[in-house]
Structure 1
């Protein structure tokens, strides 16, 4: 399989959109290695080790915030390091049932970055950079 900068960009974009719109691992898996790993220095995500866990967590988050959406601020492909970084802002309002408490009706506008590493044209690892505390306070989930 020939891996090009364009194909990596297309794969990264397709994964990002599927994940951020809550389609879960079932759809996201086709863009990733089956053993794709995950890391984040954000409290709700700190114990997650697989990209599958994260994709399914995002699916759950979209259940809590059915109006959730994203705005991409930057999309960069680094062919020398075989990675793609996406900087975006997630917005959503907690109106869905489930989660840490009943719906608060409060919203968040939260900046974050996906740093996706590629192996043979598929995502092998992703790190999410996110200030979770900020988002959780905005949603009324913490003090």
Structure 2
């Protein structure tokens, strides 16, 4: 594999991050359609009954409803072969229902790590670890 491929895959990942940080649902959906294989495989919890790129759209719809000002800051990126790993810090203000919790107005900050395998310049497989416990503690759903 050429050394240009990881850089190209990283650019695709950056393109999705830019779209999600825009808060523009239409742009996010369009970008997902362009950069994510419709049958992408998830190795992370996704909404029941939803798979592939539709699951990613569902997740972003839920996050944008709950945290309309959500912002993903990429802290580290490692690219090798057909995989790109990114460690992110996510911030947002709880302004809509989230996991059954009505809006609290609280600001949250949490970490996540994703590994994305690319095929033909698109997301083909995703592994993810999101610090949901930290979200829940900050929102008062778990004891501090």
Check whether TM > 0.5: yes
Q: Which residue pairs with 1:62 in the alignment?
A: 64
Task: Please give the per-residue CA displacement for 1:32-76, whole angstroms capped at 9, x wherever unaligned.
Answer: 2121111226xxx47564343133212221221112112211012
SS of equivalent residue, structure 1 residue 140: coil
Q: Which residue pairs with 1:37 in the alignment?
A: 41
Q: Which moved more, 1:125-134 or 1:20-29?
A: 20-29
Deviation at 1:17, TM superposition (A): 3.0
Aligned residue pairs total 136
Give the structure, 1 or 2, with the largest relative contact order (CA under 8 Å, sep 6 or more). 1
Uncovered stretches (5+) of structure 1, i.e. residues with no partner: none
Uncovered stretches (5+) of structure 2, i.e. residues with no partner: none
Which residues in structure 2 correspond to 1:6-25 (within 5 Å)? 6-19=7-20, 21=22, 23=25, 24-25=28-29
SS of equivalent residue, structure 1 residue 30: helix
2:127 equivalent to 1:121: no
Question: Which runs of 4 or more aligned residues in structure 1 lie more than 3 Å from their structure 2 counterparts after TM superposition?
Answer: 19-26, 45-49
TM-score by length of 1: 0.79
Which residues in structure 2 correspond to 1:1-143 (within 5 Å)? 4-19=5-20, 21=22, 23=25, 24-40=28-44, 45=46, 47=48, 49-79=51-81, 82-96=82-96, 98-99=97-98, 100-143=100-143
SS of equivalent residue, structure 1 residue 4: helix
